């Protein structure tokens, strides 16, 4: 069999063994069923809920019977396959007859078979018409010695039912062999069919030397009989069945053994070692929820079928313990599982307020939707309700903030938990949704297992930037020896991208998708986590193609040194001086070569150069200003002062900001000579600001009103 279970019962063989320690039980039951030929009929039942292994136990019993010294004749009958309820008895007797005849070709067996066929005809004469049933050839053989089938039918119709049964009993006794009749799946029948099977066992086929082994769910059978007009259904069953045997309980050890076998089929590697605290948390989920909810072999198979299907598609993107928990819900509380898919805000609290402007607090939303969650628990047993609620709270802590949360983490997304919306989307989509990128792909990028440049291009093209940087913040500290190559690849991909240009030209907003800000945050995290951070900073800052982000990094280092005590400094004064000298060289090259003219980042570089060395910034601007159309080039360099949410980037050239590095009188004189109709809107806005010191938007040249 493959990795997925098809819910077939075990056969009890070495290749399909008993894993629930029912071997001795089945042996003892087989001995009970071996009724001596002269003894009265015995009826035994195996009772248990659906999926608890009744058919598997029957197979073990049959195996024991077939290995006995006085091997009985075993007649298997599945009424679920018989068809209409009015034909159940006839179908059984025909199969019984066939088993006796085919199992033994001696005269006694043939006679018993003939008597059974004649007996069956009293319940439905049509059954003896040759060719009408699969047993036609057997029937023809059985009646051929007495003439035509039509004549035999006429004679049989006149026989008395009781007398005919006596002849059957007598013929069976001459076989001198025990007979065990196994009837399974009674609890799958309709009420009328169930009644017919019990009638068959009690009145029709209680032959000497015969035992019946019936398998059913007692609760269901009792309910069915009540619906069929049997008032005291339990007593009715007791009159028919002499020995009622519940299925052996499945011990915690056996259940754990089955679960461990299933877990061992997953990639031992790493299924549970990808995310923080996942392996320990899996044990917690198992002991507190799984073993108390999933108690039947069938449910174990269904749970692991679901888990395997999902895990095979999103391995390494959601923590294993959460996928395991969701599979438990999908198996034991499917309505809850579906509700999580349909109304995720009831578990995560992500919907907007009534005016649609500001999001509510997540816990407030979850509280408001408690009724929605509770409606999904209807029809469950009380103990199951509490367990399902507890399991849901393990997955979604906001549903019960008072509950102790085992193995909590500081960042749910980094730990792969579905309490993070991104992880929940992946778990419920069974794949990485559009706009997402998988953990595996990001780690392959970090470790150079894929073409880094092509990967960044794909991330940008697929709109996966936000998720990419979220995952880089989780994994960015890994592979420190290649941090410079990793960051350089990201810088080169984004600093030249149209996505970054559009972002820098857009209105300022705290919640906007801002790849430049993402690169700033990632750079700081990587540097802080690199054991050779000074060497890494030297590499980043020395490269002129990194100049804008190098400017931010240098500024962050300077601020950090000012805010901390000497014994907590990440860098020394001499290291800072070295980094500033390196930046001055790379910044001047970037500006002189116009590397970042198109994406409006030259001002970014210039203002950090100004902080690092006023002299070099002043020399740069002076040389440019004296050249042909120098004021236009200066306008391009110093133009972008900031951005706001009204109309995006703006400029404001005032004396206080620039007098240290620019000859403001010369600047004013040069600006006055420019024909504004012949320059771009951004340059025109800067030049007008040079003239009057007022702020203007670079997007459309309009004045900033504050």
Q: Which run of H or of E encompasses 47?
A: strand 42-47
Terminal-residue alpha carbon distance, the chain: 74
pLDDT in tens, 505-549: 776 544 456 899 999 999 999 999 999 999 999 999 999 999 999
- Rounded CA-CA distance 103/95 in Å is 12
226: exposed, middle or buried (C-beta count within 10 Å: 0-12, 13-18, 19+)? middle
Distance of CA 577 to the CA centre of its chain: 52
Q: Sign of dihedral through CA atoms 637, 639, 643, 648?
A: negative
CATH number for the domain formed by residue range(s) 23-246: 3.40.50.300
Q: Which of 139, 138, 161 is nearest to 149 (CA)?
A: 139
Q: Which of 181, 248, 249, 245 is nearest to 210 (CA)?
A: 181
pLDDT in tens, 326-383: 999 999 999 999 999 999 999 998 754 444 444 568 888 899 999 999 999 988 888 8
Quote the DSSP letter at residue 620: H
- Rounded CA-CA distance 690/672 in Å is 9
- Rounded CA-CA distance 319/278 in Å is 6
Distance of CA 419 to the CA centre of its chain: 13
As a whole number of Å, the CA-based R_g of the chain is 41
In this structure, are residues 602 and 634 in contact, taking their beta carbons and an 8 Å threshold?
Answer: no
Angle CA 540–545–551, to nearest 5: 55
Residue 141 CB partners (closer than 8 Å, separation 6+):
none
Distances (CA, A) of 259 to 22, 38, 182, 303, 331: 17, 46, 30, 10, 15
Pair of tokens at residue 233:
């259904």
> Beta partners for 213?
44, 182
Distances (CA, A) of 440 to 323, 419, 448, 468, 471: 17, 20, 12, 11, 10
Q: Phi/psi at 76 (nearest 5 deg)?
A: -100, 135
In this structure, are residues 347 and 373 in contact, taking their beta carbons and an 8 Å threshold?
Answer: yes
- Rounded CA-CA distance 445/433 in Å is 19
Residue 21: left if φ>0, alpha if ψ -120 to 50, beta else—which one?
left
Give 274's Cβ-side CA count (13 Å radius): 24
Task: Give 253-318 as a DSSP string.
Answer: HHHHHHHHHHHHTS-TTTTTTSSTTHHHHHHHHIIIIIHHH--SHHHHHHHHHHHHHHHHHHTTTS
Q: Which run of H or of E encompasses 598?
A: none
Other beta carbons within 10 Å of 492: 16
Pair of tokens at residue 310:
């999902």
In this structure, are residues 33 and 42 in contact, taking their beta carbons and an 8 Å threshold?
Answer: yes
Residue with structure tokens 């053994």? 257
Pair of tokens at residue 294:
């999933």
In this structure, are residues 504 and 516 in contact, taking their beta carbons and an 8 Å threshold?
Answer: yes
Q: Which of the residues in the chain have pLDDT under 50?
A: 1, 125-151, 153-159, 268-269, 352-358, 509-511
Q: Angle, nearest 10°, between helix axes 547-563 and 515-529? A: 60
> Beta partners for 595?
none
Give the pLDDT score at 127.
41
In this structure, are residues 92 and 200 in contact, taking their beta carbons and an 8 Å threshold?
Answer: yes
Q: Which run of H or of E encompasses 8?
A: none
- Rounded CA-CA distance 263/585 in Å is 58
118: exposed, middle or buried (C-beta count within 10 Å: 0-12, 13-18, 19+)? buried
Q: Which of 220, 231, 202, 236 is nearest to 54 (CA)?
A: 220
Own/partner pairs, 564-568, CB within 8 angstroms, 24+ separation: none
For CATH 3.40.50.300, the residue range(s) in the chain are 23-246
Distance of CA 58 to the CA centre of its chain: 35
Q: Which of 612, 613, 607, 634 is nearest to 622 (CA)?
A: 634
Give the pLDDT score at 135.
39
672-697 burial, b if ≥16 CB within 10 A, otherwise e? eebeeeebeebbbbbbbbbeeebbbb
Q: Which of 651, 545, 643, 537 is nearest to 591 (CA)?
A: 545
């Amino acid at each position: 069999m493959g990795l997925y279970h098809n819910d077939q019962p075990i056969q009890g063989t070495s290749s399909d063994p008993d894993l629930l320690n029912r071997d001795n039980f089945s042996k003892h039951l087989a001995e009970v069923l071996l009724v001596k030929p002269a003894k009265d009929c015995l009826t035994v039942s195996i009772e248990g809920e659906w999926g608890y292994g009744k058919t598997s136990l029957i197979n073990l019993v049959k195996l024991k019977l077939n290995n006995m010294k006085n091997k009985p004749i075993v007649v298997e009958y599945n009424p679920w396959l018989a068809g209409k309820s009015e034909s159940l008895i006839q179908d059984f007797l025909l199969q019984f007859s066939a088993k006796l005849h085919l199992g033994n070709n001696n005269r006694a067996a043939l006679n018993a078979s003939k008597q059974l066929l004649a007996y069956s005809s009293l319940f439905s004469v049509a059954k003896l018409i040759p060719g009408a049933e699969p047993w036609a050839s057997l029937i023809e053989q059985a009646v051929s010695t007495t003439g035509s089938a039509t004549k035999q039918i006429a004679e049989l119709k006149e026989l008395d039912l009781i007398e005919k049964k006596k002849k059957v009993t007598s013929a069976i006794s001459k076989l001198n062999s025990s007979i065990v009749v196994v009837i399974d799946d009674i609890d799958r029948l309709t009420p009328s069919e169930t009644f017919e099977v019990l009638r068959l066992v009690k009145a029709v086929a209680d032959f000497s030397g015969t035992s019946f082994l019936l398998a059913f769910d007692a609760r269901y059978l009792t309910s069915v009989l009540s619906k069929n007009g049997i008032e005291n259904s339990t007593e009715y069953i007791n009159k028919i069945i002499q020995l009622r045997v519940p299925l052996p309980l499945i011990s915690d050890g056996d259940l754990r053994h089955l679960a461990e076998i299933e877990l061992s089929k997953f990639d031992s590697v790493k299924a549970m070692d990808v995310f923080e605290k996942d392996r320990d948390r899996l044990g917690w989920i198992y002991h507190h929820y799984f073993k108390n909810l999933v108690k039947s072999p069938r449910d174990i198979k269904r749970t692991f079928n679901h888990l395997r299907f999902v895990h095979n598609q999103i391995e390494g993107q959601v923590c294993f313990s959460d996928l395991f928990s969701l599979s438990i819900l999908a198996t034991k509380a499917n309505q809850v599982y579906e509700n999580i898919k349909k109304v995720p805000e009831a578990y995560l609290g992500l919907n907007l307020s009534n005016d649609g402007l500001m999001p509510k607090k997540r816990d407030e939303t979850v509280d408001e939707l408690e009724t929605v969650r509770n409606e999904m628990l209807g029809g469950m047993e009380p103990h199951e309700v509490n367990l399902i609620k507890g399991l849901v709270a393990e997955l979604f802590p906001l549903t019960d903030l008072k509950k102790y949360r085992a193995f909590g983490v500081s960042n749910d997304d980094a730990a792969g938990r579905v309490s993070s919306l991104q992880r929940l989307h992946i778990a419920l989509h069974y794949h990485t949704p559009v706009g997402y990128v998988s953990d595996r792909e990001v780690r392959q990028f970090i470790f150079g297992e894929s073409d880094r440049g092509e990967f960044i291009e794909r991330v940008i093209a697929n709109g996966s930037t936000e998720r990419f940087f979220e995952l880089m913040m989780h994994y960015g500290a890994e592979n420190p020896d290649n941090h410079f190559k990793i960051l350089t690849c990201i810088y080169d991909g984004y600093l030249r991208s149209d996505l970054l240009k559009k972002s820098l030209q857009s209105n300022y907003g705290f919640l906007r998708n801002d790849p430049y800000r993402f690169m700033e945050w990632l750079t700081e995290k990587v540097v802080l986590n690199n054991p050779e951070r000074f060497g890494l900073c030297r590499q980043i800052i020395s490269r002129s193609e990194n100049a804008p982000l190098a400017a931010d990094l240098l500024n962050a280092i300077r601020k950090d040194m000012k805010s901390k005590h000497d014994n907590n400094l990440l860098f020394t004064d001499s290291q800072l001086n070295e980094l500033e000298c390196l930046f001055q060289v790379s910044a001047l090259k970037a500006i002189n070569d116009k590397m970042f003219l198109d994406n409006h980042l030259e001002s970014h570089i210039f203002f950090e150069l100004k902080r690092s060395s006023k002299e070099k910034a002043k020399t740069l601007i002076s040389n440019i200003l004296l050249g042909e159309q120098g004021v236009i080039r200066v306008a391009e360099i110093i133009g972008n002062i900031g951005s706001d949410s009204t109309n995006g980037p703006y400029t404001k050239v005032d004396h206080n900001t620039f007098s240290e590095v620019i000859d403001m009188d010369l600047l004013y004189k040069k600006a006055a000579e420019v024909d504004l109709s012949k320059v771009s809107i951004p340059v025109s806005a800067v030049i007008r600001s040079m003239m009057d010191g007022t702020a203007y938007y670079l997007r459309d040249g309009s004045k900033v009103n504050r």
